[in-house]
Structure 1
């Protein structure tokens, strides 16, 4: 359901499975192939995930090659990528994850070297200490990838969090979360490495004012900081413990507004000439109003629309309107793989659940 819905959300650019698989038929042996297949069979966007086990990595790659159209096609346009947390904070390398890094890099597929220390427990809570530690962990992991294969595609994966001091759970809706992450983005820019950053997470358990405040608080700051690849951005509540489809729809609208705010200004010689012509035309008219030209700009997408879920009444109906919109999206068919592609995958990849096969 999450992949199908997210395929319809125009401002979501890639997909990371937001739920842990709970099906009783899923084991450590078939976990990876089923989570990738369930995603790829319901979304046309890039799919990213971690590896539960290295044993079936080759099967995941085979699946992606079949969907992409071959080994070269997958290398030219990777439809999947991976996340690996090489270090257990503080500063302890993990043998199992390191082995996965070797396999992914040797396969030539993109990889996020991720680190997620918690300020106040597994890292200093002070900004300088947190950033120094996470930077060391990420750079060590990235160095490993380049020693395996120089030029391997890799992202600087910064996921620093802060501990609540009352229960030591992660605390996302706080200024320190932004400070840690902005610092990491700037370090990645300094090293000229694309940054995988975090935003859109909060501590709220249900959609509402707290959730929107916490999400906007991080969405806007991370986007403005220059992070190229922002995860955790859609639908997550209760410190990433819950995925809410309604919240994903609300986040999509919010992120669309942020993308519009931060897009490149449309200022060039052609635009300046057109604007001068428009001003002369309006000033020569009797009404001297730019309304007609504003409508043209709206229809062309140059200016933004009003908030999608607004209401004309005094009562706040954002949740109600978003639920209606979500119902329309979910009523649309999912973008399943072609039947012949699906047959080839089931013939080549062991462990796939029969119930995931669609017609």
Structure 2
């Protein structure tokens, strides 16, 4: 009896060791770029109505406050500058731009295995935002975030399979000079991850400094232009229906430098966008269509992400809310409009209004992340780590978000119905002369890793085992993992010679 127990224990240990080893990419149950699109809150007629209304808005209302350079580009493309200073867009111009726009964009990474193919309903999750606080989960505190916190977020994201890109989630509040903040943000992110990175520039004149650093990291301008691994998150509009003059000038410089652009329209429903879900989507679509004309007027075919990011508002208080059901619908509806135009697109999901990684954070993050993925959103921005309606970012929440997004991605993958998965022969073998259960059958063991996503930190033990293990706490486990990651040198760190060259040219705040 003892011998049998030992044999079973050894077999179990071997199976556990095999499960702990990384699966080959083709065997993983979830992977970047899986197609969504099963969830469609808008009917085809409703999408036609949104499109027609957006065309009306662009033709009749237009956008104000374009810079002089933008006016020249847009009117040269066929837009009309009115006596009131607003630029209006004839329907034919919009429709021609949509017809000529890229149907597929590849956002590249320093490591090609992390390249993101944006087309169809391919779904990718990542970070974003401009949080001004770091959430210290262990002490339940908020403090101003700095460049080290941003670098640590990049290092953590680099280790997480379900975080597919890193758009800068925090601003470096410890760097007061805006130029130094911009290029230090690039350095902190690139030294932390080899995944695709998104950054912003404060002023047009700062782009040349950032691109100089990127040329150094890439190994030259030719190599940078061949594989641009950083994109520009550009708030080119100030809703409602105004161009952000300086951001437009930044966008022009980024396009000339070969930096892919995220056209980001971020109106707040009820404040800077209509309070209805449909109306907020109409305005976001209108503004991004205008931006698409702008980009293609500067350089036809330049890679651009259609970034409709309308946010919700709690109309009782006027405070932004990113964790509402309305926010999830806004994002899913925008994703459908991206596919209506067959354009690579992105929107915001995974935001929580909760101040800490708690139950409220869990339900809010999962709701919008699942709906965004099921709707086939190419780029799910702000999917992990964002708290307090974008005011706070939490490293532990980023780690736990990797688990959460893994479950969301399993929902995206859906249900495969094949002769094998229908399992008639397995049912026959188990029920007729078999053991009467499916535990240990060849199909169960053979598919348990391919069909199922297992949480790293989620606790599935019984209450008895939970007590025996000392009642482990989810946040404490995430904190331990954070410290393990940060105790190791970044896998994305620069060659010492290159790092010395960068530091000789730029004032880098991160210690060597």
- Is residue 259 from structure 1 mapped to residue 409 from structure 2 by the alignment? yes
Alignment deviations for residues 269-323 of structure 1 (CA, whole Å, 9 cap, x no partner): xx859x789788878985475524322323x544222563304326573233333
Structure 1 CA distance for aligned equivalents of residues 242 and 155 of structure 2: 38
Q: Answer with 309-318 or 6-15: which moved more.
A: 309-318
Asked if the contact 1:121/1:163 (under 8 Å) is kept, the reply is yes
Matches within 5 A, 1:170-249: 170-249=320-399
- Is residue 340 from structure 1 mapped to residue 489 from structure 2 by the alignment? no
Summarize the Cα distance change of 1:108–1:267 in structure 2 as closer, same or farther, 3 Å threshold. Answer: farther
Q: Answer with 139-148 or 73-82: which moved more.
A: 73-82
Structure 1 CA distance for aligned equivalents of residues 401 and 436 of structure 2: 39
Residue in structure 1 matched with residue 510 of structure 2 by the alignment = 356
Q: 1:309 aligns with which of 450, 458, 465?
A: 458
The secondary structure found in structure 1 opposite 2:466 is coil
Alignment deviations for residues 101-139 of structure 1 (CA, whole Å, 9 cap, x no partner): 111112222100000111111111012221111111111
Kindly tell me the number of residue pairs found equivalent between the two proteins: 351
Structure 2 CA distance for aligned equivalents of residues 208 and 272 of structure 1: 40
Structure 2 CA distance for aligned equivalents of residues 193 and 200 of structure 1: 22
Q: 1:330 aligns with which of 477, 486, 500?
A: 486
Q: 2:476 aligns with which of 320, 330, 333?
A: 320
- Is residue 6 from structure 1 mapped to residue 157 from structure 2 by the alignment? yes
Summarize the Cα distance change of 1:316–1:30 in structure 2 as closer, same or farther, 3 Å threshold. Answer: closer
TM-score normalised by L of structure 1: 0.89
Q: Answer with 162-171 or 97-106: which moved more.
A: 162-171
Structure 1 CA distance for aligned equivalents of residues 507 and 375 of structure 2: 41
**Of the two, which has the highest radius of gyration?**
2
Structure 1 CA distance for aligned equivalents of residues 325 and 430 of structure 2: 47
User: What is the alpha-carbon root mean square deviation over aligned residues?
Assistant: 2.6
Alignment deviations for residues 134-189 of structure 1 (CA, whole Å, 9 cap, x no partner): 11111101110011111110001111112222331211222221222222111111
Asked if the contact 2:203/2:247 (under 8 Å) is kept, the reply is no
Summarize the Cα distance change of 1:285–1:345 in structure 2 as closer, same or farther, 3 Å threshold. Answer: farther
Q: Which runs of 5+ in 1 are unaligned?
A: none
Asked if the contact 2:374/2:411 (under 8 Å) is kept, the reply is no
Asked if the contact 2:261/2:305 (under 8 Å) is kept, the reply is yes
Matches within 5 A, 1:261-280: 261-263=411-413, 272=420
Summarize the Cα distance change of 1:163–1:305 in structure 2 as closer, same or farther, 3 Å threshold. Answer: closer
Summarize the Cα distance change of 1:128–1:143 in structure 2 as closer, same or farther, 3 Å threshold. Answer: same
Residue in structure 2 matched with residue 118 of structure 1 by the alignment = 268
Structure 2 CA distance for aligned equivalents of residues 306 and 88 of structure 1: 40
- Is residue 23 from structure 1 mapped to residue 174 from structure 2 by the alignment? yes
TM-score normalised by L of structure 2: 0.63
Alignment deviations for residues 325-349 of structure 1 (CA, whole Å, 9 cap, x no partner): 33333333222111122123334xx
Q: Answer with 281-290 or 89-98: which moved more.
A: 281-290
1:6: how far off? 1.4
